[in-house]
């Protein structure tokens, strides 16, 4: 894999092997663990590019979770004039930092179809005659 475009947390990221990036919090991930992204939108190996509709079937990108934490604090202020209304709140967005290991695409399975012969059966029917 040369590079890929993955979707996680409602956002799209361009990733390459060895790249480190910060994504939205992944609840099932543990620090030091591995995680697999199966929502791959585009996969390039340098020679060819595969674009999904919407996802590339069978393609996966593997990454290692390096850090989980919370971002810088954002201060939110609310103010209404003339009524002495002031509210100050803070917010810290949780994130997961990952390091991309690589990606792979599932190779299509080759199956051989056996020639099947269709058997025809004849059905015997008898007419029922009503008696007077």
Over residues 63-90, the mean pLDDT reads 97
* Burial call 42-53: b when 16+ CB within 10 Å, e when fewer: bbbeeeeebeee
User: Is the confidence at residue 71, as pLDDT, over 80?
Assistant: yes
User: Is the confidence at residue 78, as pLDDT, over 90?
Assistant: yes
- Map tokens 């990221």 to a residue: 13
Over residues 22-34, the mean pLDDT reads 94
Distance in angstroms (rounded) separating the CA atoms of residues 41 and 61: 11
Distance in angstroms (rounded) separating the CA atoms of residues 90 and 6: 31
Q: Which residue has the higher pLDDT, 24 or 119?
A: 24
Over residues 67-89, the mean pLDDT reads 97
**Mean pLDDT, the chain, as a whole number?**
89
pTM of the model: 0.72
The pLDDT, as a whole number, for residue 121 is 77
């Amino acid at each position: 894999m040369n590079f890929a475009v993955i979707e996680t947390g409602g956002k799209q990221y361009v990733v390459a092997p060895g790249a480190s990036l910060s994504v939205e919090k992944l609840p099932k991930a543990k620090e030091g663990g591995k995680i697999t992204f199966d929502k791959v939108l585009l996969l390039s190996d340098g020679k060819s590019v595969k674009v999904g509709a919407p996802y590339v079937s069978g393609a996966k990108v593997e990454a290692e979770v390096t850090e989980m934490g919370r971002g810088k604090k954002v201060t939110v202020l609310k103010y209404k004039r003339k009524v002495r209304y002031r509210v100050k709140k803070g917010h810290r967005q949780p994130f997961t930092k990952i390091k991309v290991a690589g990606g792979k695409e599932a190779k299509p399975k080759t199956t051989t179809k056996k020639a099947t012969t269709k058997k025809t059966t004849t059905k015997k029917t008898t007419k029922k005659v009503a008696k007077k």
